[in-house]
Amino acid sequence: MRFGLACLALLLLGYVRGVGDEAAGSNVWQRLQQALDEGAKGFLWQAEQLAQRSPRFPVSAREEFAVLLIESHIRQGLWETGWEEAQRFLLREPFSPLRGVVWRWAGIAAFELRRFADAERCWDSTLASLQSRTAGAPTEVEATIGYWRILALLHQGHYQRAEGAIEAYVQRYPASPYADDVLFFQALLSELQGKYRRAAEQLRQLRQLYPCRSATAQALAREAYVRLILREFAQALQLAEELEILLERFHRGDTLGIGCEPPGSLDIPRQELLFVRAEAYREREQWEAAQRAYDELLSQFPEGPLAERARLQRAWVTLRQGRAEEALRRFQALRGSSDREIAALAALYGALARKMLGDTANARQELLELSLQPDFPATAEALLELGQLSYEAGQYRNARLNLERAMRETGEAHTMLRVLLLLGATYQQLGQWENALRSFRMAGELLQRGDTLLIPRWRRYREQALLGEGIALVFLQRPAEAVDVLQRAVAEHLANALQGDELLFWLAEASYASGDFSRATETYEQLLLRYPKSSRREEALYGTAWCAFRTQQMERAVFWFERLLKEFPQTRYAVEALLRKADALYLLRQFRDAAAAYWELAERFPQTTEAEYAAYQYGYVLYRLRDFAAAEQAFRYFVRTYPRSSLVDEALYFLGWLSFQQQRYEEAVERFRKLLEAYPNSSLAARTWFAIGNAYYNAERWQDALEAYRTVVERYPNSPYAVEAVKSVQYCLLALGQTEEAYRWADTIAARYPATRLEEESRLKRAELLFSQQRYEAAFREFAEFARRYPYSERTPEALYWAFRSALALGDVQEARRMSEQLCRQYPQQWYSVQSLLELARFEARLDLRRADSLYREVERLGDSLQAAEAVFQRGVLAYVRQDTLQALTTWAELLRRFPSTEFADQARYQLAMYWRARERYDSVRLYLAPVALRSDERGAEAQYYIGEAWMREGRCDSAVIAFRALQTTHPGTENWYSLSLLYMGECYESMGEVAAAIEAYRLVLALRPDDEYGRTARSRLSRLQRGGP
């Protein structure tokens, strides 16, 4: 599965980074021991120097002889004898001024006997004795003894106390010749505690404070090594270069003239220099340079303390250079190393070399044998590699067993991390998502707790842990949690991600699963832009297209599906992409393109269920295009190609319906009956019988239609078509002249189907028939009875409304008012309620203007925009009738503000224009009529005419002619206004002196209207112009 491969690729790098890491702790410990041993070598020489500088005390010959004897024993290396003599002197001479000297020699004897606690105690006494005589002022003797005391503390492993002593020493004796060594010890202690950043800073300060001391070269070497641990490889190489320059100067003697102390031994810094340089090159994957550095170290120090590790690293570099056979020989040579850890790693890496050579069987066998050795120090690493082999071979169950055991065996954080990540990937492949989630979360917790400096490529591992956790949450259908995890991964790692496209892809997938299509789209598109060559591109294009489809952005959906199909012609999503592209085009009403897409799918993938649907849709879209011949051919193809499809009955129905649409009713009935014969239990049966009835009805075969409709009612009373069939039966009966039977049909339905929708519809239809025949009293009773019988029916408001209309038609205003009040009380927001108020107001306007105005105000408050607009307009009319012109104008202006796009707004504009026309305010006339003139109906023509008339009345005949011509262009079918505009246009031409144009206009009127008043007027004017009269 795709999601595991990235984890595998990352884990394969694990051992490259981890080869030198195991040595970090032991290396610093060995270096501290070397430093302490180096510091102890000069004890006797330092003691003799102190003896020469010590003050002379007046003592007895016996005391002086005893001290000389103690010194003699110790100088000869008789440590035990010297120690015993010193103890006897201290017991025998409690007040001797030489006790401080004896304590000093006793400490040296104890130190050499490795009785470091006794040495510390002796030197403490020496310091106390010295400080009591010097009144607290520091002396060179004190500085030396203090240095020895620090060595004793370090040898005892009392590092915390040693740190305190070092701090005090540096403050009290900054000029001491041992201050640089003490600071070097301090840095080593910080390194031992894993405080590498502090150690590096302390070593840097040592070099600044004491640039020419013996510890300077060692500090350079050690700082370079620490920078290596901190993964600051460039700085490590720079420090190594500085160290090499310094060692060359010491070797040539260039530094002696400026007073620089040479290090105690040039070998240790030189070895460290070469090793650091080689390690830095290896970490930077500069294999050739690393090889040369390891070879130089081994040629100069073949038996040095770093030689065996250098040989191991050299073999690893050879393996990374692709020379697996040579690497294998080198690893095999190291399997006999006296260093148990080196031998174990050589055996382990030898198996890796075999694996690289393609000898996986022997590699697996060697790793298995290593993992079974009871004292093998790298059991977890061997099991990890066994798990890796099984994973790569697709043997995920074996991989899981080996990795689970590796997890139990290891106690080292870096190895545990690699095990958890590969185990999580293995669980992914096995579909064990809860286990995968647990593994990746454990890896994440380990990374959070661990020191980022001690885990190579910490950010890479963190990225992989978050990615694996996010994927597992997606498959566990916990998308919201997945989004949180993956967003954190993207924020932390995308800039330098190893698998940035994977992070973005799974974040998009999680966002899509959580329903956040906007973020999913943004993330998919970010992936496409940032990683144009990603292996996830195909899926990202598909996901982007689906996001657009799900959010009803059909143009974008078409674009992205087309792009997917263009970039990946053989995409595994081709079927789905073609189908959704076609559906999107259909929803965009681009039926021609939709038909092409449906047909492409049906033709390319005929054996799929999607092709079956597409073939059906192809016919349906052609039907929507009213290409009936092509649609019929498409449906015939569908029935022939997919005879067992669940859509066959739909296709057969459409074949009948196509005949119906082309008014080939007999053919339609025949096709519908074939459908019913082939699929008598089809869900389309009721619809088909109803269509048969409609076909007969349109063919005026009323009796056959009646039988078909009755079949719908009797066989399928619960079908929605049954309700329409009930009405249609009544229409047929009326067409057959059986009016009374049409009325009784409602009773028949009520008896057969009591308390059903059919009964409701039949009764309501009977009432409607009565109303249509102007039998208003009977209609009123039927509508009122319906409302009483079915108080909770959805048709009851309609019934009450028609009862209201019936009462109004009878002139029974009181009953009409009662019906309207009942409607408004029971259904205050219904259209029927408001409409009853509106119609009652129109009626009341003839009787009581104030009452009518009150009703219109109520309609304005409750109605929809059209009803409210009419109410406002009628209130203006009422005000005008009351001769309250200001109120009328104000009300119509309010209408234009609130409902500017309604029919009644245009009526208000006309009324306002006529008001200002009567007052010769022609600019206002044109202002109000301009929007009305845009209409294409009679009212628009009238408005255009009055605009021209307004120009003409102002004497602007040129503008009037333009307006009249516009009317001829935009409203040629409105004969009266067209003819009138021609007459006025001719008059304008006469005024302008264009007689020929005027004659042409009048002739056109005469041609259109030769026998009416317009024609007679045009004939009269033509005669006048032809006579040459004015």
Query: pLDDT tens across 84-120, in order?
Result: 988 998 888 888 888 888 888 888 888 888 898 998 8
**Residue 940: Cβ within 10 Å count:** 21
789-815 pLDDT, tens per residue?
Answer: 888 888 899 899 999 999 989 989 899
CA dihedral over 413, 414, 416, 420, signed as positive or negative: positive
Pick the closest to residue 769 from 795, 793, 743 (CA basis). Answer: 743
pLDDT recorded at residue 659: 93
pLDDT recorded at residue 701: 93
Quickly list DSSP for 632-648.
HHHHHHHHHH-TT-TTH
CA distance 954 to 960: 9
CATH class of 903-1027: mainly alpha
CA dihedral over 119, 122, 125, 126, signed as positive or negative: negative
Residue whose tokens read 């004898």: 81
Quickly list DSSP for 569-615.
TT-TTHHHHHHHHHHHHHHTT-HHHHHHHHHHHHHH-TTSHHHHHHH
CA dihedral over 1002, 1004, 1008, 1010, signed as positive or negative: positive
CA distance 676 to 683: 10
User: Which regions in the chain score pLDDT beneath 50?
Assistant: 1-26, 52-53, 256-258
Q: CA torsion 537→541→543→545, rounded to 10°?
A: 180
pLDDT recorded at residue 43: 53
The structure tokens listed for 977 are: 């206004």
276-300: string of b/e by CB count within 10 Å (b at 16+)? bbbbbbbbeebbebbbebbeebbee
Q: CA torsion 327→331→334→336, rounded to 10°?
A: -140
CB contact at 8 A, 104 and 145: yes
pLDDT recorded at residue 707: 94
CA dihedral over 514, 516, 521, 522, signed as positive or negative: negative
CA distance 73 to 83: 9
pLDDT recorded at residue 3: 44
The structure tokens listed for 679 are: 């699929």
pLDDT recorded at residue 11: 34
First CA to last CA distance, the chain? 100
pLDDT recorded at residue 592: 94
Indicate the SS3 state at residue 552.
coil
- Find all residues with CB under 8 Å of 552, minimum gap 6, and list them: 587
pLDDT recorded at residue 396: 94
pLDDT recorded at residue 635: 93
Q: For 495-506, what is the HEC assignment? A: HHCCCHHHHHHH
Indicate the SS3 state at residue 800.
helix
CA distances from 873 to 9, 612, 643, 733, 888 (A): 78, 57, 62, 44, 9
pLDDT recorded at residue 518: 94
pLDDT recorded at residue 44: 53
pLDDT recorded at residue 623: 93
CA distance 800 to 817: 12
CA distance 278 to 290: 5
Q: Which helix (H) or strand (E) holds 79?
A: helix 79-92
Q: What residue type is 793 in one-letter code?
A: S
Q: Give the DSSP letter of residue 256.
A: G
Q: Give the DSSP letter of residue 185.
A: H
Q: What residue type is 394 in one-letter code?
A: G
The structure tokens listed for 824 are: 């408004």
